[in-house]
Structure 1
């Protein structure tokens, strides 16, 4: 399994607990270090798979890995692209001692070189070009019949709903991948034969406590 934007290594940890071998790529050294620590913890807990984390830009590292024995051996690429600081990070609320809802650990590196490469800081049109390049580099690593899974969701900016999943699917096709499925999960309920929107899990929890 390969995650070219592995963050703190959640997908890698789940993979090794399932007995799979996992490779992660992470641009930010801080998150890459945490991912390695999480893999070490998984091993202590008895995970049978092995995991390794490379630090660097996803497409560039994937291209280097294509020159190794990993080429043509990856059965699954599983990742989630960044949306920017607005949808990342940790939250503290009044129940945690905060005066109001406070967000932390949601800023990406300010390093000039990494900032240029970081997808979270790129404009939408460049972001999709970068994601296409990353998917193309990962495609070379895929084994015959290998699968690429990208988890993503729409988001709103300046009052407009952005079809980010659709943009990601289009980027995958430009990278030479063939779309075989698209699964949608809605945060809603069916009441009296009508679809009723629901708040997010965070909103539900905080409404109960505030």
Structure 2
């Protein structure tokens, strides 16, 4: 019984990433999961309940990946730059950010795991930038939370530009521009000649 539930969730995770919420039907989910007719409604109240379970898992996976990247470097500026410049599949788009443009985002059960991811990313970036500010690395007047929100917006905007223009280089240009702005707002570590 647990295997069928997990198969439904896994199938939904993949279909949401590939097709979005509106284009994913219960029939598609059953076909992808290999689950029998009626299984979806045995384990979930409906499509939105199943999608919410899948999105909670995706959100948790993506938060872990962010944490791993932001915790990899001792220097907070290096860690934030590493997150910002990480390779991304620009034409596929953000697995969660893509869903923010769909009407289903108006359903609290769908919005919650997406919002949780973005709050987490902004919070983690703000914390690392706060470390930089405490060490005197950010120029005066730079608010770590505002900078974090801007960096998340640049990455999400990079996805949109890349998909809208069918040009993955649009993401790389957005990342490079934001990285240059961040470096310009940071004082180097004493003794660092980079």
TM-score by structure 1 length?
0.27
Q: For CA contacts below 8 A with separation 6 or more, give which structure has more relative contact order.
A: 2
Higher helix share: 2
